[in-house]
Structure 1
Amino acid sequence: MIPTYKAKIHEGNRGLIVGIANDQSIAWGCARAFRALGAELAVTYLNDKAKPHVLPLAEEVEAEIVMPLDVRAPGQMEAVFETIAKRWGRLDFVIHSIAFAPKQALEGRVVDVDRDGFLTTLDVSCWSFIRMAKLAEPLMTNGGALFTMTYYGSQRVVTHYNIMGVAKAALESAVRYLAAELGPSGIRVHAISPGPLATRAASGIPEFDELLEKARGKAPTHKLVSIDDVGLATAFLAHDAARLITGETLYVDGGYNIVD
C-alpha cells in the first residue's frame, strides 16, 4: 500500500523512474514516495521477463507511461525520452537506479577483470546515467533534478563489492561534473548512497547477509535502511526547498558511513 501524506509537495511534477525490478527495489521505494507526494510518473521495465513483475507496480502508482528500457539495447533509451517529450513535453526529475556487472567480473578480483567485463560494468552502471542526463536536459525547461544510486563501496574497499566499487566511484565523480555543467540551467544532480538493502541486485554479492548484519551493528542507529527511507530522502532533494543543494552524495544509512 502506498503511504499517504497531507502535503502533496510534488503535485504537478513529472518524473521518470528507471530500475524497478520488484517490490523490493530501491526504485520502487522512490516511485512510492514521489507518487504519495503528488508526482506523476513514467516507469520502465528491463525486458519481457521483468514486465509481469513491474506492470502491477506501475499500475499501483498510476504510471502514465510504462515502457521497456534496457540501456544496452540501441535506441531504447532515446525512445523513452521521445515518448515523454510527446506525452508530457517536459520532465522534472529522473531516478536512475540501475547497475550491472557480469558475474565473473563482480566475483573476481578487480585486477583480473577483463576489458569486456570492465566496459559492460561502466557502461550500464555509469555511462547510462550520463546519457540519461543528456536526454533529460532539453526536457527540464524549468530546471529539475537527476538522481542515481551509489554505495559506500565507492569510497572504501568493501569485501566482495569489487569492480562495482570502481564503477560507483566513477558514477559519483560523474554526478559532480554533471552538477557543475547543468547547474546554470537549474538542473541539480545527486547520488544517493543507501546502506545495505536486501534487493535482488544485492543478492548477487557474495556473503551479503553478513554485510547486512555488520551494517545493523555498526550504524549509530542500529537499524537497516528501507527502500521507503531512500525514496523520501530523494523526494526531499527533488523539492524546491533543496534548490541550492547539488552535486552531493547523500548517505541514507543510519550513520554507517561515519563510523570507523
Structure 2
Amino acid sequence: MIGIANKDSIAYGCAKAFHAEGAELAVSYLNAKAEPYVRPLAEGLNASIVEPLDVRVPGQLEALFERVRKDWGRLDFLVHAIAFAPMADLHGRVVDSSWDGFAQAMDISCHSFVRMAKLAEPLMDKGGALLTMSYIGAAKAMRDYGMMGAVKSTLESCVRYMALELGEKGIRVNAISPGPIRTRASGGLKNFDASIEDAAAKAPLPLAGIDDVGALAAFLASDGARAITGQTCYVDGGYSIVG
C-alpha cells in the first residue's frame, strides 16, 4: 500500500477496505517525519510489513519489494497512490513549467508506478492486480490542475500499455479516478475549495470519499473484476459525466 500519509489519505481508504476483506498488508511511509502519522494506522490494520519508501531514494523501492519477496514469496495486489509536483510548476501554466519540475512530477507520479509494476511482475506468478490513482484532469483540461493533468494523462496511458503487456500473465492493471477529495495532497492545488464546491454542485450523486475509493479498489483486486483491465474507473458521484 503505497501512499498513506494520514487518516485522510486515499491510500488509507483502500487499505481499510482490503483489511476488511482479510488481506495481509504491506504499508510504506515517506520518511521519518511521516512515520509517526503512518505507523499507528498500519498497526491498526495489522500490517505485517511497514517500511520507508521515497521513490526518489535509490534502492528503497527495490528494498521494499525484496522484503515482500522474503516474507511472503508473492504479491496479489499493489496500490500506487503517490503524486508530486513542485508548487511553482503546479500553480503555473503548463507552457511555463520547468524541465526539472516536469521531470520530477513525471518520475514520482507516473514512472514510479511503472517501476513498481516491473518489480511486482515476478511476484505475481499466479496473476494479480496493479492499481493507481488518477483524476478527471487527465481526460479533460481542468482549470488549476495544469501540469499534473498532463502527468496523469501519461499515467493512464501507461496503465493501458502495461495492461496489454502483462495480461498474458494474468496481471490486471487499472486506474481509479476519484472526484475531488480533501486530502493532504489536494490541499496543494490552487483554488481547490472552489473546485470541490463546483463538483459537488454538478455531480448527480454525493462526491466520493476515501471509503468509496477503497471499495472500488477492493473490487478491482478481486476475482469479480477478473475481466477488467486497462481501464480508468471513475468513482466521483458522476461528476465526470457533467464536469
Q: Shorter-normalised TM-score: what interval?
A: over 0.9
Match of 2:237 in 1: 254
Q: Which runs of structure 2 are paired with 1:42-81 in the superposition (5 Å)?
A: 42-81=26-65
Match of 1:27 in 2: 11
Match of 1:228 in 2: 211
Cα displacement (A) at 1:114 = 1.1
Q: Which runs of structure 2 are paired with 1:197-212 in the superposition (5 Å)?
A: 197-212=181-196
Match of 1:188 in 2: 172
Using the size of structure 2 for normalisation, the TM-score is 0.99
CA distance in structure 2 between the aligned counterparts of 1:217 and 1:113, rounded to whole angstroms: 31
CA distance in structure 2 between the aligned counterparts of 1:220 and 1:119, rounded to whole angstroms: 37
CA distance in structure 2 between the aligned counterparts of 1:114 and 1:56, rounded to whole angstroms: 38
Cα displacement (A) at 1:224 = 1.7
Give the root-mean-square deviation of aligned CA atoms: 0.6
Cα displacement (A) at 1:159 = 1.1
SS in 2 for 1:40: coil
SS in 2 for 1:52: helix
CA distance in structure 2 between the aligned counterparts of 1:190 and 1:245, rounded to whole angstroms: 8
Structure 2 residue identity aligned to 1:217: A
CA distance in structure 2 between the aligned counterparts of 1:35 and 1:241, rounded to whole angstroms: 17
Cα displacement (A) at 1:158 = 1.1
Structure 1 unaligned regions, length at least 5 = 1-16
Cα displacement (A) at 1:184 = 0.2
Figure out how many residues of one structure are paired with residues of the other and give that number: 243
Segments of 4+ moved more than 3 angstroms:
none
Deviation digits for residues 73-124 of structure 1, max 9, x if unmatched?
0000000000000000000000000000011110110000111011001000
Using the size of structure 1 for normalisation, the TM-score is 0.93
Match of 1:111 in 2: 95
Structure 2 unaligned regions, length at least 5 = none
SS in 1 for 2:25: strand
Match of 1:239 in 2: 222
